[in-house]
Amino acid sequence: MDLVALQIFKAVAEAGGITKAAARLHRVQSNITTRVKQLEERLGTTLFHRHKRRLVLSPEGRTLLAYADRLLALSSEAQAALRDGAPRGLLRIGSLESTAATRLPPLLSRYHLGYAEVRLELVTGTSGALVTRVLNGDIEAAFVAEPFTAHGLEMQLAFSEELVLIAPKGFGEIRSAKDAAHLPVLAFAAGCSYRRRLEDWLGHAKVSAERVMEYGSYHAIVACVAAGSGIAVVPKSVIRAVRPEREVRIYALPKDIAAAKTQLVWRQGHRSSALEALKAEMRKMGSVPISALAKPGAASRASRSASPRRRAARPARRSSAPAATR
């Protein structure tokens, strides 16, 4: 809809006539009259009635005026946002359920304090589902865990997680992946990166789960593991938050399975002031060193450049057996 036509319509409605509206807008009366008639023809309805030498809004005109006010206000807001570059409007992001519960509260609290004119919306899901929503434009960015398909995405390292295996107290000790053979696995739906890591760990040992039972939250997963339903892989940050040590056994996993990175991802080439502010806030909080940001592979290059002393301190042979911590 033509914003100029709405501006003229609004001026006529407020002034109660063509003459006063023309003076307010510095236009000739014939131009105002023509634009109002064209708007009525386009909408197929009468917007004004004449009453005692004044133009008064018809019921349809009153309806249009409410929308005109909102559309013109949004137009002004958009122009102001583009002029000063200050973050404002809606920022819709996605997150893993564990990240939303344990990692994001301090970050989003700081963001809200610094950018009160940005309205944040958060949705949760598996890494696979969130990546699809980012690529489709449903959400602007998402916090997802590796591994995931990065084609068409840019990313910034957000958090480093350590995954652990939890099992019921009544199960036998799990010293290796083979000890977990034919046990039920509790996990999120297909597309969950942590579930994929657990399945890879079992697969490398040429064993498989008895079955996979899918849940929608870590609280439910931990509770069902404690009740004896099966085993699960969860981030250590969830263990710190839920504190289930008395109900479950916690096992360390091999480093290649346990070390997980959470990335903030967005569509390649996409930019917005609200998203840029979020990325800057992450850097301020010291989530990761700036040298490790953005480009896929940067983190792995950084790890390869570790000092010789640190490399020498590592064990020469990596065991695939998990060590019980409780």
- In a shared domain, residues 149 and 266: yes
CATH code, domain carrying 58: 1.10.10.10
Tokens of 44: 């197929």
Cβ-based neighbours of 167, under 8 Å, separated by 6 or more: 174, 180, 183, 225, 231, 248, 249, 251
pLDDT, position 109 = 93
What single letter denotes the amino acid at residue 35? R
- In a shared domain, residues 98 and 146: yes
Cα(10)–Cα(90) distance, integer angstroms? 27
- In a shared domain, residues 273 and 153: yes
Rg for the chain (alpha carbons), in Å?
29
Eight-class DSSP state of 231: B
Eight-class DSSP state of 169: T
Instruction: Write the pLDDT tens digit of every residue in 280-299.
Output: 999 988 644 333 333 333 33
pLDDT, position 91 = 93
- In a shared domain, residues 155 and 165: no
**The total number of structural domains that make up the chain:** 3
- In a shared domain, residues 155 and 296: yes
For residue 266, which phi and psi values (nearest 5 degrees)? -150, 165
User: CA angle at residue 238 from 172 to 109, to 5 degrees?
Assistant: 180
- In a shared domain, residues 138 and 204: no
Mean pLDDT, 10 residues at a time, over the chain (326 residues)? 91 92 93 94 93 90 92 81 76 94 93 91 94 93 91 94 93 91 90 90 90 91 94 92 87 93 94 92 67 36 37 42 54
Instruction: Write the pLDDT tens digit of every residue in 231-250.
Output: 999 999 998 888 888 889 99
- In a shared domain, residues 127 and 155: yes
pLDDT, position 287 = 44
Tally the C-alpha atoms within 13 A of residue 154's C-alpha that lie toward its C-beta.
Answer: 12
- In a shared domain, residues 132 and 279: yes
Decide which of 67, 84, 101 is a domain's last residue: 84
- In a shared domain, residues 143 and 165: no
Range of 201's domain? 161-258+318-324
Q: Please list the alpha-helical segments (H only) found in the chain.
A: 3-15, 18-25, 29-43, 59-84, 97-102, 104-114, 127-136, 193-204, 218-226, 236-242, 255-258, 273-284, 298-304, 308-313
- In a shared domain, residues 167 and 235: yes
The residue whose two tokens read 């640190």 is: 310
CATH code, domain carrying 130: 3.40.190.10
pLDDT, position 227 = 94
- In a shared domain, residues 145 and 180: no
Decide which of 84, 118, 151 is a domain's last residue: 84
Decide which of 69, 84, 99 is a domain's last residue: 84
Q: Return the axis-axis angle of helices 273-284 and 104-114, rounded to nearest 10°.
A: 120
- In a shared domain, residues 150 and 269: yes
